[in-house]
Amino acid sequence: MTKRDLVIRISNDTGQIQQDVLAVVQKTLDYVTEALLKGETVELRNFGVFEVKMRKPRVGRNPNDPGKDVQIPARAVVKFKPGKEMRDRVLKLTEKMPL
């Protein structure tokens, strides 16, 4: 699902104009990004938690030249932890999906 798909679904469900829905969705995403940039945790109940974590520096390998080590520097990454409701609903897919 893309942002456009989301806007269309919300617009159809609520009867709001797509431009207005797009503005709200974009502003929401902007605020989530701003909070993460400030180092804040973003918690959306029944959905999940976004937070910034620091990855430690590590040594990697180049698959084209495995004999050489490559230093990978520390960096900030966004982690997402799904909420209980989402996690439980996604787990139910395990029963439906063939291996």
Q: CATH topology for 3-94?
A: HU Protein; Chain A (4.10.520)
Measured CA distances, 42 to 1, 17, 21, 73, 81 (Å): 21, 28, 21, 26, 11
pLDDT in tens, 43-67: 999 899 999 999 999 999 888 887 8
Domain boundaries, the chain: 3-94
Residue 96 pLDDT exceeds 80:
no
The pLDDT assigned to 65 comes to: 82
Residue 99 pLDDT exceeds 70:
no
